Amino acid sequence: MTDHEHKDDAVPAKKVKAGKGTDAAKAESPEAESPTAESKAESTKATGTTGASVTPEDAAPARGAGGLASSGTAAGEPELEKQPPKAFLEVRDLRVHFPTQDGLVKSVDGLSFSLEKGKTLGIVGESGSGKSVTSLGLMGLHTVGQYGRQRPHLSGEIWLNGQELLTADPDEMRKLRGREISMIFQDPLSALHPFFTVGDQIVEAYRVHHKVDKKAARRRAIELLDRVGIPEPAKRFSSYPHEFSGGMRQRAMIAMSLVNNPELLIADEPTTALDVTVQAQILDLIRDLQQEFGSAVIIITHDLGVVAELSDDILVMYGGRCVEYGTAEKVFYEPQHPYTWGLLGSMPRIDRDRADRLIPVKGSPPSLINIPQGCAFNPRCPYADVPAGGVTRTERPELRETQPGHLSACHMEPEDRQRIWTEEIVPKL
């Protein structure tokens, strides 16, 4: 209890940085922000404990590629809402909820991150953690073509180049799709239309956004096919997807997504459906093309090896929320969250004894309808019993900065975490 009071004391000192106006607004009308009030209290309390005084409002624009924002905090400040950020892409408190007969599926529940041009963000998590739902949300694909189905509820903000996408006009959003934001899908065989030639599909993607004749579009398509490493591009232009190998198909898919020089490229598990030998080639290709085109890239994967190869920043998702977010180096070499430890342990090590090669994360992902009340990872966390300064299990850990440029959502005290990481995890990895 004393601990609790101490934390509350820390709040005003920290909040000064966020601007007096917001502080006053908070004090005067705490009930106005009732949905987020609880989480905000937790958040600020937590920040007080660690002593770091970073709020997303002032931190995010300044940080560039590593712009780190915590979830749930932007919603309460009305005067800061809908303000275009300086970052190229900024996602604030994104929520995607699917109403179903069994209840509300909270696939993404308060996700925030930002990304600069030319940088790569890796979003990592297991199946059902909300990675793909996030990417479709960025593309605005949750709201089109939901014929007769209940539309998902989307809230939060997605800022791209100073434009807010969630509130954008649908036709405006459509024009951005494929031109400003484009996407590479997981399985190129099912993502390409089986009845149209690869070339025609690329030409179509180009001509939606460019008023050019078929010949010029064809030249552009062949140029792109050549660029992504398809031999004899002029000949392969007229091939159908089923006549391509898996790797070639994904190359063609990449060519299609780059044909309009998009500023943001989202690659949703681009190598999952491919042979291991081809995976590396495709990753190399994506990296080369990013350098050439200067796009921002979000790479979504469950494979830490993939993000290690490509990413500047890494965001680890669990149960629809961000549990760890930081630069690739920080997340890889000093991971703070037990789930990230688990992911690292799940990468097989051939140089170990057979029994130690793989350390799986036990249990299965949480149901997104009944997400555990406190920490979503708690039921699977091997360190759930480590005492964490008076917090109860029903309290949800908020994302807070543990080191500059590194956020994590875990109740454990930093000392405990450091100790477990160096003494228990590192020797096993």
The end-to-end CA distance of the chain, in Å, is: 38
187 interacts with other proteins by CB under 8 A: yes
Helix (H) or strand (E) holding 20: helix 20-28
204 interacts with other proteins by CB under 8 A: yes
248 interacts with other proteins by CB under 8 A: no
- Our CB check for other proteins shows the closer of 15 and 177 to be 177
148 interacts with other proteins by CB under 8 A: yes
Binding mask 158-177 for other proteins (x = CB under 8 A): ----------------xxxx
- Our CB check for other proteins shows the closer of 185 and 325 to be 185
> Which amino acid, residue 378?
N
> Which amino acid, residue 184?
I
- Our CB check for other proteins shows the closer of 147 and 415 to be 147
256 interacts with other proteins by CB under 8 A: yes
Nearest Cα residue to 7 out of 56, 55, 40: 40
Segment contacting other proteins by CB under 8 A, of 75-83, 182-190, 211-219, 303-311 = 182-190
Segment contacting other proteins by CB under 8 A, of 21-29, 183-191, 214-222, 320-328 = 183-191
147 interacts with other proteins by CB under 8 A: yes
22 to each of 30, 51, 92, 317, how far by Cα in Å? 11, 20, 17, 29
- Our CB check for other proteins shows the closer of 65 and 205 to be 205
Binding mask 208-227 for other proteins (x = CB under 8 A): xx------------------
CB of 242 to other proteins, least distance (A): 5
* Cα R_g (the chain), whole angstroms: 23
276 interacts with other proteins by CB under 8 A: no
Q: What DSSP state is assigned to residue 243? A: G
Q: Confirm if 80 and 22 have CB atoms less than 8 A apart.
A: yes
244 interacts with other proteins by CB under 8 A: no
Q: Which of 97, 106, 119, 179 binds other proteins (CB under 8 A)?
A: 179
Ranges within 389-428 binding other proteins (CB under 8 A)? none
Segment contacting other proteins by CB under 8 A, of 111-119, 201-209, 386-394, 400-408 = 201-209
298 interacts with other proteins by CB under 8 A: no
Nearest Cα residue to 245 out of 188, 185, 184, 186: 188
Between CA 54 and CA 73 the distance in angstroms is 12
Q: Confirm if 266 and 139 have CB atoms less than 8 A apart.
A: yes
Could you please report the per-residue DSSP string of 255-279? HHHHTT--SEEEEESTTTTS-HHHH
Return the biggest CA–CA distance within the chain.
75
Tokens of 264: 């943001």
Buried/exposed code over 226-259 (b: 16+ C-beta within 10 A; e: otherwise): ebbbbeebeebbebbbeebeebbbbbbbbbbbbb
Segment contacting other proteins by CB under 8 A, of 70-78, 180-188, 278-286, 308-316 = 180-188
Question: Which residues of the shown chain bind other proteins in the complex (CB under 8 A)?
Answer: 136, 139, 141, 144-145, 147-149, 174-179, 182-183, 185, 187, 190-197, 204-205, 208-209, 240, 242, 256
